[in-house]
Structure 1
Amino acid sequence: MLVKLAWNGMKSKRKDYIVLLTGLVMAIAIFYMFQTLALNKGFTSDYAMINSMQLIFNVGSVLLAAVTFFYILYTNTFLLSLRQKEYGVFMLLGAKKRYIKNLMFVENMLIGIIALIIGVAVGIGLSALVARLIMGQMNVSLDGYQSFYTPSMLVTFGFFLFLFFVTSIWNHVRLSKIEVLDLVNADAKADKTVMKEKANIITIIAGIISLMIGYVSLIFMEQLREIGVFSSAIMTTLGTYLIFSSFIPMIVKCLKYNRKWNEKGIQSFTFSQLMFRVHSLKKLLATVAMLIALGAGAISGGLAFKNNGEITVDRTMVYDTTIHTPSAEEENIIDKIPFIEESEYRYKADGEFDYFLKEDLEDQRPLINTEMVRESTEVKRLEAALPDEKDSLRDVQDKARNGSFEMEHEWSLFLNTLQDTYTNQPLIVSQNVYEDIESEEQTVFVGKTDDFMAYTDQWAALDEIKQEQMDTETAEESYGVTSKYAMYKSYDTVATGTVFMGFFLGVAFLAMMASCLMFKVLSGANQDISRYEMLRKIGVKKKLLERSVYKELFLVFLFPAILGVTHVLIGMNMFSFIIYEPYYRIWVSIALFILIYALYYLLTVKMYKEMVLPDKDV
């Protein structure tokens, strides 16, 4: 009987429940997707690159779980507001409060289970899609990966059933504390808009100062480090809440008392509605602004981190490839790459030293990074003087052993990049000394293209050949190749996981943020119905009232959007000391936010109009 009543109650508010279900399904689907990549150990253990990403998706799961918990807690409050008057009428007609609480509990669990089933189904499809995208980026086979993964499904069901149970109990307790008359008259409560001028001015000043401290901490994060992390998080959050509790209401009040704007059409009514709205929503609007910053920031951070890999390897290693005594197969690949800079140096090795021929280095002066400071790093021709040794081979070796062999630091850095092994000390010797070394002569080829990323297939093929040579020489699996491409792939593996985590976490944050704002606006719509009815009865046209709704809700959505985007634009600077271009394609995250936000704004307007301006003749 309870299930039937709960189902009928949900059907009567199906439009509201569909919107609620959409947000829950998205959260569940993304959470399940993260679990398939975090728990699928049978697959990840076979791929070191994928295994290194497990931590990223575990962290993402924890963040998503935390946000989802508060999202579900809030949406359940919305559910209670939808039915509270109906519950009050049931109690007046004789229904016991215990029965009503049980009915509400069943409703909450029922919508939770429906959302779980749909969410996991969507999550399975999403997992298959995302896995293909990630594995395609890393050229890894999908063998062993399961988008339909039982452990991930069990974790998802267990976690969300627990959340639905806890939030249902929370609503159960809240309902116990509400009197019957308060439930029946819930729509008739007036909003409080009392503003004490002196206290408000103090709050505005405190909010501006807090925001400035937070922004300064973000801008100078490299200098402040740990202090900056804590001060930026605390002061930016505090400033946001203070601004929305004082400064935004003051702006609305100024709009209301501007005669030029206020007396035009029915804008007096619009601004009055907005004054009530911002006072009841000020805490939520501040939360929305912070979630916008987190959501758009997560997407921007992922894209910037991904882009950072290519820049990092380019600034770390000037030459795109370094090959020792190229084989015929390697020569064939090299010949097909259009190098803009290439050189070949001769050297000999005796197990203690690598002897590089001075004449080769003089004739083919290499390119180097001038400084390892990210703002001023540039590539230039190495101009440092070469050692002018007149000594014999034995004297050169003795000087190297006692540390008196003189060689410019820049030459030492360059030669280290040429070495196949870092166990030998590099030395530069003249032709006479070089000829006295009784070792087989070897060569090392270095080449630089105009675009490292345009020839990734060739770099991968060269690394594969080198790895096979190393495995053959040691008769067992050896350490990986330490090439520029290997460095890039190692970085890119983690970056790829970060991009996808940032993207889906960002979308989840943005969707939950917008839906929370929508739920809050709609939950107060019942109190506005009488006001709109009154205006329609005195002859105000419906089109004018619809315009009023558009303007009012536009400003409600606009305030947190402005501050949230400002947080993102300033906040991305905090990554400047670990990411070369923190603002790389930031327009993507902002455009995605605007798209999601606009869709929720239009949906909110549509549903709000249907509630306060139903299609009927007055």
Structure 2
Amino acid sequence: MIRKLAFAGLHRRWADYLVLFSGLSIGAAIFYMFAALATNEKFLKANINVGSVTQVFVFGLILLTLITIVYVGYAQSFLLGMRYKDYGVFLTFGAKPRKISQMIMLETFAVQLGSTVIGLFLGMGLTKIASQWLAIQIHLPLTGLNVFQLPAVIITISLFVLLAICSTVVSQIIVRTKPLQSILKANQLTNHSDQNFKLKIFESITGLVLLIIGFTALFKIEVLQLAAIPVALVTISGGTYLVVHSVFSVIINWLKKRNFSYRGLRLFTLGQLQFRIENYTRVLSMVTILFALALGAIVVGIGYHRQIPIMSSYSSAYSMNITNPTKATDKIIAKMDLVKNVSYAQISDQKHIYLNQDQLRKQPLEAVVVPKAEHQLSQPHYKKIAAHKLVGRTVENRNLMLMESPALRGKQIVILPTKQFNQLAGTKSTLQLIRVRNLNQSFSKLKQLERYSSSTAAKQGYEITNSYEMFVISNTLFGGLEFIGLFLGIAFLTMLASCLMFKVLSGTQIDRNRYQMMMKIGVSIKQLKRAVAYEIGVLFVIPGAAGILYVGLGLQVFKKLMVNPYDQWWWAVLGFSICYGIYYLLTVKLYQRLVIQTNQTGGDKHGV
């Protein structure tokens, strides 16, 4: 009988349970995706050239575990809110509390364990897709990637089983200890907040002081080193909580006293926010920190992705140097987007390399102009090199010799007029130099040309001779940071938005009564939907705006690791905000369907 009642509840509210099931599946998938990399030490050390990469992923996994606990807690609140009244009715008709406890256990395990299994398979697919996509974007070949990581499977299942048990026990205690009348009216209760103005001012000042301490610790990370991270995390988290809790309620009270609030349903919307201020302070503070971490990780990842090719371009004026090009190289080069393609005829003997003076005058060699500002990032500019500077012990001579084939290095350069040059006897060769418009876009073609290069630093043991070689080396050194940043950002974005979404949806059972009352007094569906959009919009904007501010301050930490961490970072903010906005629209649609559309029939029935 208990089983039938439990599954009858699932069947009757299948749409609500589908939201819950899919949300938990995504949570399990993201957790497994992260755990699969965090537990694959060989993969991390083989592909990411960062000494503390394992510790970074383990720290991220611990943080993600805490987020998952909160996430599952909100999901369980959503489930319990849907079934509160049903449990009360069953108890009214004589059901024993023990039977209700069994029903709670059955429903909780059916939803959470079922979603965990689906999430594991989804996570394996996401691990492969996300890792390979990121590897392609940053030109980082991955070795040792294993989508099925047994330790990650065990950790994921263990965590979600433990959370299912805890959720069941907590829900059972709540139902068994509450009076029957409280259970029947649980969805009619509201939260009230203390409006002591002096206390709010004290909270605001304390919160600001904690934020100042936290960001100062980040700015002094060179002095404090690793100690700066926990100090910043604790103080910024605490400061965020106090500022949101105090400022948010003060602003609402201030708005309620202005004429602004008496237009449309604004007063109702402000009242909705006021009712839940205490509960939302915690989740908004957490989402703000996660928003900053996720956005910061993506900004840094994209920053490296954009800056690596530009920084590499400063190493040489040419992307590739080829001695004695062939039809094969010509065929590859013909398909490339070039901004410079020059060839120089050469004649060499045992001690000298002879160059054509007229050829150098018509198409002079070029060098990169070093920018005056240390942190000014832009595409490099080039200057022409006078032919006489190529002779003797000069920087220009050294750079040219590096682009020659190993057999010609160490010989003296002699520049002759065309007539004398043509009369020389010796070994003839051609040096071709090319510069591509974009190293990222031309990477695959340059890789094909690499085998024909005059010299490759990695193979010959010589210094870097062209910007392509620097690009490859930079990707090896910093590509791991790109990977970590983008991977962390995607994982945290998904979890933070899902947490906020479920926190909002967990209040639908209480809000149904309020919206139904508004419909009975003649408020239109359109007005209510607009009110929902405004209310949820405020809840999404607060952590978003604060998170962007935190990232703007936190990027100071990366000034020593990046040329310019702020270079076009707004593009990353825009992309991140679009993804965040999609979650907002999804939350609004789900909330409207659960709260308003389900009451439309009821409203019509009552003559509204």
* TM value normalised by structure 1: 0.74
> Could you tell me which residue of structure 1 aligns to residue 506 of structure 2?
523
1:199 aligns with 2:182: no
1:288-367 matches, within 5 Å, as 288-323=287-322, 325-326=323-324, 328=326, 332=330, 336=334, 340=340, 342=342, 366-367=366-367
> Which region of structure 1 is more displaced relative to structure 2, 560-569 or 273-282?
560-569
* Whole-Å separation in 1 of the counterparts to 2:521 and 2:321: 84
> Could you tell me which residue of structure 1 aligns to residue 446 of structure 2?
459
How far is 1:303 from its partner?
2.3
> Which region of structure 1 is more displaced relative to structure 2, 375-384 or 65-74?
375-384
> Could you tell me which residue of structure 2 aligns to residue 375 of structure 1?
376
> Could you tell me which residue of structure 1 aligns to residue 541 of structure 2?
558
In the superposition, relative to structure 1, how do residues 132 and 429 fare at CA in structure 2: closer, same or farther (>3 Å)?
A: closer
Q: Which amino acid aligns with 2:167?
A: N
* Residue among 141, 160, 166 paired with 2:162: 166
How far is 1:250 from its partner?
0.5
Equivalent position SS for 1:340: strand
In the superposition, relative to structure 1, how do residues 131 and 93 fare at CA in structure 2: closer, same or farther (>3 Å)?
A: same
How far is 1:286 from its partner?
1.6
1:604 aligns with 2:591: yes
In the superposition, relative to structure 1, how do residues 554 and 131 fare at CA in structure 2: closer, same or farther (>3 Å)?
A: closer
Conserved 8 A contact 2:77-2:506: no
1:104 aligns with 2:104: yes
How far is 1:115 from its partner?
1.1
Ranges in structure 1 where 5+ consecutive residues have no aligned partner: 390-406, 432-439
Q: Which amino acid aligns with 1:375?
A: Q
1:417-566 matches, within 5 Å, as 417-418=402-403, 445=431, 447-449=433-435, 451-453=437-439, 455-465=442-452, 484-492=467-475, 502=485, 505-538=488-521, 543-566=526-549
Conserved 8 A contact 1:38-1:54: no
Q: Which amino acid aligns with 1:317?
A: S
Q: Which amino acid aligns with 1:562?
A: A
* Whole-Å separation in 1 of the counterparts to 2:36 and 2:454: 31
1:80-91 matches, within 5 Å, as 80-91=80-91
In the superposition, relative to structure 1, how do residues 201 and 89 fare at CA in structure 2: closer, same or farther (>3 Å)?
A: same
In the superposition, relative to structure 1, how do residues 240 and 222 fare at CA in structure 2: closer, same or farther (>3 Å)?
A: same
How far is 1:133 from its partner?
3.9
How far is 1:210 from its partner?
4.0
* Whole-Å separation in 1 of the counterparts to 2:136 and 2:534: 46
**1:140-194, Cα deviation, whole Å (9 max, x unpaired):** 9999988xx6x43x44543332122221332344346542315445335442221
Equivalent position SS for 2:433: strand
In the superposition, relative to structure 1, how do residues 69 and 318 fare at CA in structure 2: closer, same or farther (>3 Å)?
A: farther
> Could you tell me which residue of structure 2 aligns to residue 261 of structure 1?
260
Equivalent position SS for 1:194: coil
How far is 1:63 from its partner?
5.8
> Could you tell me which residue of structure 2 aligns to residue 180 of structure 1?
178
Q: Which amino acid aligns with 1:29?
A: A
How far is 1:501 from its partner?
6.1
**1:65-99, Cα deviation, whole Å (9 max, x unpaired):** 55334322432343334434544554565555454
* Whole-Å separation in 2 of the counterparts to 1:287 and 1:510: 12
> Could you tell me which residue of structure 2 aligns to residue 75 of structure 1?
75
How far is 1:594 from its partner?
1.8
* Whole-Å separation in 2 of the counterparts to 1:355 and 1:224: 56
Q: Which amino acid aligns with 1:561?
A: G
How far is 1:253 from its partner?
0.5
Conserved 8 A contact 2:300-2:485: yes
* Whole-Å separation in 1 of the counterparts to 2:598 and 2:78: 15
* Whole-Å separation in 1 of the counterparts to 2:313 and 2:457: 25
Conserved 8 A contact 1:32-1:120: yes
How far is 1:549 from its partner?
3.5
> Could you tell me which residue of structure 2 aligns to residue 578 of structure 1?
561
Q: Which amino acid aligns with 1:159?
A: I
In the superposition, relative to structure 1, how do residues 55 and 5 fare at CA in structure 2: closer, same or farther (>3 Å)?
A: farther
* Whole-Å separation in 1 of the counterparts to 2:277 and 2:240: 14
How far is 1:200 from its partner?
0.7
**1:384-442, Cα deviation, whole Å (9 max, x unpaired):** 997998xxxxxxxxxxxxxxxxx56x4587368547779x99697889xxxxxxxx989
* Whole-Å separation in 2 of the counterparts to 1:227 and 1:142: 32
> Could you tell me which residue of structure 2 aligns to residue 414 of structure 1?
399
> Could you tell me which residue of structure 1 aligns to residue 114 of structure 2?
114
Q: Which amino acid aligns with 1:264?
A: R
Q: Which amino acid aligns with 1:174?
A: V
Conserved 8 A contact 1:384-1:411: no
> Which region of structure 1 is more displaced relative to structure 2, 21-30 or 365-374?
365-374
Equivalent position SS for 2:602: coil
Q: Which amino acid aligns with 2:282?
A: K
* Whole-Å separation in 2 of the counterparts to 1:545 and 1:140: 50
How far is 1:600 from its partner?
1.8
Q: Which amino acid aligns with 1:517?
A: L
Conserved 8 A contact 1:285-1:560: yes
> Could you tell me which residue of structure 2 aligns to residue 392 of structure 1?
none
> Could you tell me which residue of structure 1 aligns to residue 418 of structure 2?
none
In the superposition, relative to structure 1, how do residues 426 and 5 fare at CA in structure 2: closer, same or farther (>3 Å)?
A: farther
How far is 1:560 from its partner?
2.5
Q: Which amino acid aligns with 1:291?
A: L
How far is 1:255 from its partner?
0.8
> Which region of structure 1 is more displaced relative to structure 2, 413-422 or 519-528?
413-422
> Could you tell me which residue of structure 2 aligns to residue 403 of structure 1?
none
Ranges in structure 2 where 5+ consecutive residues have no aligned partner: 416-425
How far is 1:322 from its partner?
3.3
> Could you tell me which residue of structure 1 aligns to residue 579 of structure 2?
592
How far is 1:233 from its partner?
4.0
* Whole-Å separation in 2 of the counterparts to 1:609 and 1:124: 37
Q: Which amino acid aligns with 1:512?
A: M
In the superposition, relative to structure 1, how do residues 467 and 39 fare at CA in structure 2: closer, same or farther (>3 Å)?
A: farther
How far is 1:554 from its partner?
3.0
Q: Which amino acid aligns with 1:236?
A: I
Conserved 8 A contact 2:241-2:282: yes
In the superposition, relative to structure 1, how do residues 387 and 307 fare at CA in structure 2: closer, same or farther (>3 Å)?
A: closer
> Could you tell me which residue of structure 2 aligns to residue 7 of structure 1?
7
How far is 1:288 from its partner?
2.1
* Whole-Å separation in 2 of the counterparts to 1:385 and 1:309: 33
Q: Which amino acid aligns with 2:243?
A: I
How far is 1:247 from its partner?
0.3
Conserved 8 A contact 1:78-1:523: yes
* Whole-Å separation in 2 of the counterparts to 1:105 and 1:191: 28
In the superposition, relative to structure 1, how do residues 126 and 458 fare at CA in structure 2: closer, same or farther (>3 Å)?
A: closer
How far is 1:254 from its partner?
0.5
* Whole-Å separation in 1 of the counterparts to 2:391 and 2:135: 53
* Whole-Å separation in 1 of the counterparts to 2:23 and 2:140: 32
Q: Which amino acid aligns with 1:167?
A: L
> Could you tell me which residue of structure 2 aligns to residue 272 of structure 1?
271
In the superposition, relative to structure 1, how do residues 161 and 540 fare at CA in structure 2: closer, same or farther (>3 Å)?
A: same
In the superposition, relative to structure 1, how do residues 137 and 520 fare at CA in structure 2: closer, same or farther (>3 Å)?
A: closer
* Whole-Å separation in 2 of the counterparts to 1:214 and 1:580: 24
> Could you tell me which residue of structure 2 aligns to residue 237 of structure 1?
237
* Whole-Å separation in 1 of the counterparts to 2:492 and 2:108: 22
Q: Which amino acid aligns with 1:299?
A: I
How far is 1:238 from its partner?
3.0
* Whole-Å separation in 1 of the counterparts to 2:428 and 2:224: 49
Conserved 8 A contact 2:218-2:232: yes
> Which region of structure 1 is more displaced relative to structure 2, 195-204 or 154-163?
154-163
Conserved 8 A contact 1:529-1:612: yes
> Which region of structure 1 is more displaced relative to structure 2, 82-91 or 326-335?
326-335
Q: Which amino acid aligns with 1:559?
A: I
In the superposition, relative to structure 1, how do residues 339 and 189 fare at CA in structure 2: closer, same or farther (>3 Å)?
A: closer
> Could you tell me which residue of structure 1 aligns to residue 29 of structure 2?
29
In the superposition, relative to structure 1, how do residues 441 and 64 fare at CA in structure 2: closer, same or farther (>3 Å)?
A: farther
> Could you tell me which residue of structure 2 aligns to residue 396 of structure 1?
none
Equivalent position SS for 2:450: helix
